[in-house]
């Protein structure tokens, strides 16, 4: 690594360049997805592309502020930042503005802010601070619970605001805790729960339970140091309860539109007439977005040339579905390029995190990578029809000031922490 002598340039420029590439390319696609006429007025703040351009400029101010603050500040004041952030989420229940069914916005006379976008960074700071505390031992059950509470508070608050997508993002912290020594049993249980849930939904609780039972007992009888028979029986009972529970949860707890999304994803609906109806109603977005991506071909139709983008065939294209614009106008080359840039950014952050000397910085870096990864995986996976529809933005790419600033803060605090490592000693 080339080390600059002047301290202001000792930031990790690779991360910053990847960040700039995503933000810049993202804005071009927002322009494509939202422009309406022949002329483009860049300062027209009534159009998303004009507003976003302003957000991007303000972002640079934000970056300068973040990088000027002393690195120690973030560690020292992480608890206070967390508390303020949580209060801002609670405040939504009183002052919040409802947009598209979610009460996630503060309205400051036309300017709206979404505090949940900032809460991720605050939670990452708090979790890193808590785990890196000398008194915390992640292998102790009590500390594990306290740590989960830190994560669950924002997760439940955003769920209550009807923003289920953002809740799922908090699962990212699993990666952080696991890296820092969370017992393996959690990973095993998580994997089993996910697999059993999917199998019960797809094939039904009974078949899943029987299959699980066969596997458990085969495993039991071929194990050399055989534990008591009660153990596999308990595991099986757990599996049966889980399978039945998932089915019950799917049928009785989930709202119809959520059921439909999962049903479409797992191809549970066999009736072609209903399937066709699905494509015209709630699956319309997905259907159109897949068509737009597919129509791009290898090299795409060209910047501002996408017929489906220009025709606004994909609703919400400049926000959650921005990746379909990339697919249509820039083709396989452009969209695979975006995927690669994201992967490079994530790997770069992970690499830097592993280089950190303080546990706080390392954990925070891990959280940054994990949060961005969750967004990346869920958003692009959804736009391409690989996972059920979950409405969260593509980091640094989708339209929205709060989102852009939230991710900028998240990322640049880490860049600041990292530069501090370089500058120390």
Partner 1 sequence: MRKILLFLSIIIVGFIFIIRLFYLQVYQSQEHNLFEDNAIRKVYDYPKRGFVYDRNGELLVANQPSYDVMFIPREVKSLDTLEFCSLLNINKDQFIEIYNKAYRYSPWLPSVFIPHLSKEDYAVLQEKMRKFEGFYIQKRSLRLYQTNIGANVLGDLGEVNNAIIEKVPYYKMGDLIGKQGVEASYEDILRGVKGIKFIQKDRFNRDIGPYKNGIYDTLPQPGNDITITIDAKLQEYGELLMRNKRGGIIAIEPSTGEILAMISAPSYNPNLLVGRNRSKNYSKMHYDTISKPLYDRGLLAQYPPGSPFKVLNALVGLQEKVVTTNDRFSCRMGYYLGSRRLTGCHSHSSPLSMNDGIAQSCNSYFANVYRRIIDKYNDPAEGMNVWSNHVKSFGLGNYLGYDLKIGSKGRIPDGAFYDKWYGKGRWVSTYNISNAIGQGEVEATPIQLANMVAAIGNRGYFYTPHIIKHIEGESIDKNYTTAKHTTIDKENFEPVVHGMFDVYNKGTAAALRVPEIEICGKTGTAENFIKINGVKTQLTDHSIFVAFAPKDNPKIAIAVFVENGYWGSRFAGKIASLMIEKYIKGYITRTDLEDWILTHSLEDEYEKPYSGHAFGINKETTLQVIPLDESLRSKKEPDLKQ
How far is residue 89's CA from residue 102's CA, in Å, rounded to a whole number? 13
Element (H, E) at 113: strand 111-113
DSSP output for 26-52? HHHHHHHHH--SSS--TT-TTSHHHHH
Question: Is residue 301 a contact point for partner 1 (CB under 8 A)?
Answer: yes
Element (H, E) at 105: strand 102-108
Q: How far is the CB of 101 from partner 1 (least distance, A)?
A: 21
Question: Is residue 416 a contact point for partner 1 (CB under 8 A)?
Answer: no
What does the radius of gyration of the chain's CA atoms come to, in whole angstroms?
A: 23
| 74 versus 342: smaller Cβ distance to partner 1 | 342
Binding track over 365-384 against partner 1, x by CB under 8 A: -x--xx--x--xx--xx--x
Question: Is residue 194 a contact point for partner 1 (CB under 8 A)?
Answer: no
How far is residue 158's CA from residue 167's CA, in Å, rounded to a whole number? 6
Of positions 288, 320, 329, 418, contacts partner 1 by CB under 8 A: 288
Question: Is residue 173 a contact point for partner 1 (CB under 8 A)?
Answer: no
How far is residue 115's CA from residue 192's CA, in Å, rounded to a whole number? 34
Question: Is residue 89 a contact point for partner 1 (CB under 8 A)?
Answer: no
Binding track over 314-333 against partner 1, x by CB under 8 A: xx-----------x---xx-
Task: Choose the binding region for partner 1 from 13-21, 136-144, 240-248, 342-350 (rule: CB under 8 A).
Answer: 342-350
Question: Is residue 307 a contact point for partner 1 (CB under 8 A)?
Answer: yes
| 35 versus 239: smaller Cβ distance to partner 1 | 35
User: 215 to 274, contacts with partner 1 by CB under 8 A?
Assistant: none
Question: Is residue 312 a contact point for partner 1 (CB under 8 A)?
Answer: yes
What the block records as the tokens of 369 is 């990578």
Of positions 240, 283, 350, 396, contacts partner 1 by CB under 8 A: 350
- Measured from the Cβ of residue 182, the count of other Cβ atoms closer than 10 Å reads 19
Q: How far is the CB of 417 from partner 1 (least distance, A)?
A: 18
196-201 — which CB contacts under 8 Å span 24+ positions?
A: 196/239, 196/242, 196/243, 196/246, 197/242, 197/246, 198/266, 199/243, 200/242, 200/243, 200/244, 200/246, 200/247, 201/246, 201/247, 201/250, 201/262, 201/266, 201/268
What is the layout of strands, in order, in the sheet containing 111-113? 97-99, 102-108, 111-113
345 exposure class (CB count in 10 Å sphere: 0-12, 13-18, 19+): buried
Q: How far is the CB of 361 from partner 1 (least distance, A)?
A: 16
Of positions 27, 313, 397, 407, contacts partner 1 by CB under 8 A: 313
Question: Is residue 401 a contact point for partner 1 (CB under 8 A)?
Answer: no
Question: Is residue 336 a contact point for partner 1 (CB under 8 A)?
Answer: yes
Task: Choose the binding region for partner 1 from 97-105, 163-171, 311-319, 407-415 (rule: CB under 8 A).
Answer: 311-319
Q: How far is the CB of 362 from partner 1 (least distance, A)?
A: 11
User: 136 to 165, contacts with partner 1 by CB under 8 A?
Assistant: none
Question: Is residue 357 a contact point for partner 1 (CB under 8 A)?
Answer: no
How far is residue 327's CA from residue 299's CA, in Å, rounded to a whole number? 9
How far is residue 165's CA from residue 391's CA, in Å, rounded to a whole number? 5
What the block records as the tokens of 272 is 């072609």
Instruction: Give the footprint of partner 1 on this chain (CB under 8 A).
Output: 175, 178-179, 181, 187, 288, 290, 293-298, 301, 305, 307-308, 310-315, 327, 331-332, 335-336, 339-340, 342-343, 346-347, 350, 354, 366, 369-370, 373, 376-377, 380-381, 384, 386
């Amino acid at each position: 690594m080339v080390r600059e002598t002047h301290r202001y340039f000792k930031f990790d420029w690779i991360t910053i360049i990847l960040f700039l590439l995503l933000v810049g390319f993202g804005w071009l696609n927002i322009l494509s997805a939202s422009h309406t006429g022949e002329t483009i007025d860049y300062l027209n703040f009534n159009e998303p592309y004009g507003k976003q351009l302003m957000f991007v400029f303000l972002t640079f101010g934000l970056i300068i502020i973040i990088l000027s603050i002393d690195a120690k500040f973030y560690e020292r004041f992480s608890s206070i930042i967390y508390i303020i952030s949580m209060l801002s989420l609670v405040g939504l229940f009183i002052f919040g503005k409802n947009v598209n069914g979610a009460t996630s916005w503060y309205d400051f006379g036309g300017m709206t802010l979404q505090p949940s976008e900032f809460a991720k960074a605050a939670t990452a700071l708090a979790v890193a601070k808590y785990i890196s505390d000398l008194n915390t031992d992640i292998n102790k059950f009590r500390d594990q619970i306290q740590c989960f509470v830190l994560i669950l508070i924002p997760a439940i608050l955003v769920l209550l605001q009807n923003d289920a997508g953002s809740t799922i993002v908090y699962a990212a912290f699993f990666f952080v805790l696991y890296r820092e020594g969370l017992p393996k049993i959690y990973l095993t249980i998580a994997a089993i729960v996910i697999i059993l849930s999917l199998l019960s939904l797809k094939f039904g609780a009974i078949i899943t339970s029987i299959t699980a039972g066969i596997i458990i007992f085969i495993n039991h009888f071929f194990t050399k140091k055989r534990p008591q028979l009660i153990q596999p029986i308990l595991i099986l009972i757990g599996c049966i309860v889980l399978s039945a529970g998932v089915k019950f949860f799917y049928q009785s707890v989930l709202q119809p539109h959520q059921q439909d999304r999962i049903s479409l994803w797992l191809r549970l609906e066999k009736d072609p007439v209903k399937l066709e109806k699905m494509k015209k109603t709630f699956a319309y977005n997905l259907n159109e977005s897949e068509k737009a991506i597919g129509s791009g071909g290898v090299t795409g139709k060209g910047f501002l040339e996408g017929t489906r983008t220009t025709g606004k065939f994909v609703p919400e294209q400049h926000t959650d579905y921005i990746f379909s614009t990339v697919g249509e106008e820039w083709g396989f080359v452009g969209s695979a390029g975006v995927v690669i840039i994201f992967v490079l950014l994530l790997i770069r952050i992970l690499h830097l995190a592993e280089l950190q000397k303080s546990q706080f910085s390392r954990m925070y870096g891990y959280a940054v990578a994990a949060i961005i990864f969750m967004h990346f995986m869920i958003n692009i996976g959804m736009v391409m029809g690989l996972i059920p529809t979950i409405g969260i933005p593509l980091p640094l790419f989708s339209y929205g000031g709060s989102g852009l600033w939230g991710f900028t803060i998240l990322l640049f605090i880490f860049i600041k922490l990292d530069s501090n490592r370089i500058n120390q000693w």
